[in-house]
């Protein structure tokens, strides 16, 4: 009993300072590498038609779904780019904590505050993923973990080596930085200037948009009543089955439109509707892409007024997280009668046309969107590059 009491009363021996320092360095460097991966993945989601991240596993666990969300952009800059900025800022302080003059105490209060901001931001992002996006990103979860470990280790270093109050420690850190201002200012001022320029002029590559419709771009209606655009006598005819709330549908459709604008006379695109809305599509058993069926009805009505491609572009541009569509604004944007457009969602003839598209898709064994029919072959998700290359060559 006495031995137990004696053992419990012993002070815990702290590890050598380098053990803590290099652990923090490893965590921050890992966070930076993870943010670079996420930033690259975010860019490729919007610009590479064939890209799919390794963690796009299911509807619930899907990094691409998180990247496609409007929540992946903060103040005009992608969230993972903010991660790169934050971890780089953190790492710039670490050499100052290693200096002999720091005496194992300085800079850690500043790093503790930075880590606290990281952790708070991580909690906010986690809440958004759970309650708004309804999907999880494995690499984002890794980033959250790294943030919390950084917070813990910066707190632990202060506890082990610095006896000052956190507020007093922060004041001493500022005095310490000012003491070495001839070395710190040439590093931090250019970095902060670069961040400011990035904030002002970051390229908005995530704003997918088709080329403007022109008189040179031919369009019409097939014998079966489906809208087409592109070449009169094409080398390649593509029939697309899409859903207006499907990100990959939007991405692929705009890619094809840009391709047709660059290579007129070679490709014809025929549009068919396949909304993954449980109210319209018997393939979908649970609520999913709610409202995409009614959006398809609006497009079918616009087809009857020779306004399909204008309506198509606007519907793809509508915020996918939006719960409602302003019929008046939509009608004005396309040039249609708002009253007639509003009534179109209950039109039995239009609903019958939509059901024919869905049934035709089911007969082709289409199980998701986008889907493409080329020479009677069905391709899900994307079109093999060699098919497009052959047509353009």
Q: Using one digit for the tens of pLDDT, what is the confidence trace for 271-302? A: 999 999 999 999 988 888 888 999 999 999 99
pLDDT at residue 87 in the model: 96
Distance CA 370, CA 244 (A): 10
CATH class of the 13-201 domain in this structure:
mainly alpha
User: Up-side HSE of residue 331: CA atoms within 13 Å toward CB?
Assistant: 13
Going by their DSSP bridges, the two strands 267-273 and 77-78 should be labelled as unpaired
Q: How much is the mean pLDDT over the chain?
A: 87
Domain ranges of the chain: 13-201, 219-392
* Closest residue by Cα to residue 118 from 93, 150, 77: 150
Going by their DSSP bridges, the two strands 227-230 and 219-221 should be labelled as antiparallel
Residue 106 in this model has a pLDDT that exceeds 60: yes
User: Average pLDDT for residues 299-309, to the nearest whole number?
Assistant: 92
Judge contact between 57 and 173, C-beta under 8 A. no
87 or 321, greater pLDDT: 87
Residue 321 in this model has a pLDDT that exceeds 60: no
| Alpha helices, H only, 202-307 | 247-262, 292-304
Q: Which residues contact 293 (CB under 8 A, 6 or more apart)?
A: 275, 277, 279, 280, 281, 354
The total of other beta-carbon atoms located within 10 Å of residue 372's CB is: 22
Predicted confidence (pLDDT) per residue in 42-99, tens digit: 998 888 877 777 776 666 777 888 888 888 999 889 999 999 999 999 999 999 999 9
Concatenate the DSSP letters of all residues of 131-193 into one string. III--B-HHHHHHHHHHHHHHHHHHHHHHHH--S-HHHHHHHHHHHHHHTHHHHHHHHHHHHH
Confidence band, pLDDT 50/70/90 cuts, at residue 254: confident
CA angle (180, 186, 190) in 5-degree steps: 140
Residue 3 in this model has a pLDDT that exceeds 50: no
For the domain spanning 219-392, the CATH number is 3.40.30.10
379 phi and psi, to 5 degrees?
Answer: -125, 125
Confidence band, pLDDT 50/70/90 cuts, at residue 241: very high
The total of other beta-carbon atoms located within 10 Å of residue 95's CB is: 14
pLDDT at residue 323 in the model: 60
Q: Work out the angle between the directed axes of helices 292-304 and 308-317 (0-180°, nearest 10).
A: 160
C-alpha 304, offset from chain centre = 35
Residue 1 in this model has a pLDDT that exceeds 80: no
Q: Which residues contact 360 (CB under 8 A, 6 or more apart)?
A: 272
185 or 321, greater pLDDT: 185
* pTM for the model: 0.77
Q: How far is CA 114 from CA 37, 80, 98, 127, in A?
A: 22, 16, 18, 20
* Closest residue by Cα to residue 98 from 159, 174, 22: 22
The length of the chain, given as a count of residues:
393
Which residues partner with 374 through β-bridges? 377
């Amino acid at each position: 009993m006495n031995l137990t009491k004696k053992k419990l009363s012993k002070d815990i021996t702290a590890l050598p300072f380098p053990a803590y320092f290099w652990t923090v360095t490893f965590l921050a460097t890992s966070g930076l590498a993870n943010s670079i991966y996420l930033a690259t993945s975010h860019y490729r989601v919007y610009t590479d038609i064939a890209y799919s991240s390794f963690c796009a596993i299911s509807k619930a666990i899907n990094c691409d779904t998180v990247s496609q969300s409007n929540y992946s952009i903060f103040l005009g800059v992608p969230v993972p780019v903010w991660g790169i900025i934050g971890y780089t800022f953190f790492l710039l302080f670490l050499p100052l904590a290693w200096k002999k003059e720091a005496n194992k105490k300085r800079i850690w209060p500043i790093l503790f505050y930075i880590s606290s901001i990281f952790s708070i931001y991580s909690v906010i992002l986690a809440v958004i993923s759970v309650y708004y996006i309804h999907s999880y990103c494995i690499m984002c979860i890794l980033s959250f973990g790294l943030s919390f470990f950084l917070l813990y280790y910066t707190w632990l270093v202060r506890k082990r080596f610095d006896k000052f109050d956190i507020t007093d420690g922060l004041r001493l850190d500022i005095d310490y930085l000012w003491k070495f201002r001839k070395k710190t200012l040439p590093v931090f001022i250019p970095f902060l200037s670069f961040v400011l320029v990035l904030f002002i002029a970051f390229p908005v590559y995530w704003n997918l948009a088709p080329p403007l419709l022109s008189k040179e771009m031919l369009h019409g209606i097939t014998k079966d009543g489906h809208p087409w655009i592109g070449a009169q006598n094409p080398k390649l005819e593509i029939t697309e089955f899409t859903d207006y709330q499907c990100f990959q549908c939007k991405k692929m459709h705009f890619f094809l439109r840009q391709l047709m604008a660059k290579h007129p006379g070679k490709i014809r695109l025929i549009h068919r509707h396949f909304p993954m809305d449980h109210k319209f599509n018997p393939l979908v058993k649970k609520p999913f892409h709610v409202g995409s069926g009614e959006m398809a009805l609006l497009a079918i009505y616009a087809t009857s007024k020779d306004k399909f491609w204008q309506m198509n572009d606007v519907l793809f541009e509508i915020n996918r997280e939006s719960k409602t569509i302003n019929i008046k604004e939509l009608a004005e944007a396309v040039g249609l009668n708002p009253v007639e457009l509003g009534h179109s969602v209950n039109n039995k003839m239009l609903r019958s046309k939509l059901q024919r598209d869905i049934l035709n898709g089911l007969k082709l064994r289409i199980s998701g969107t986008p889907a493409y029919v080329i020479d009677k072959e069905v391709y899900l998700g994307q079109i093999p590059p060699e098919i497009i290359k052959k047509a353009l060559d």
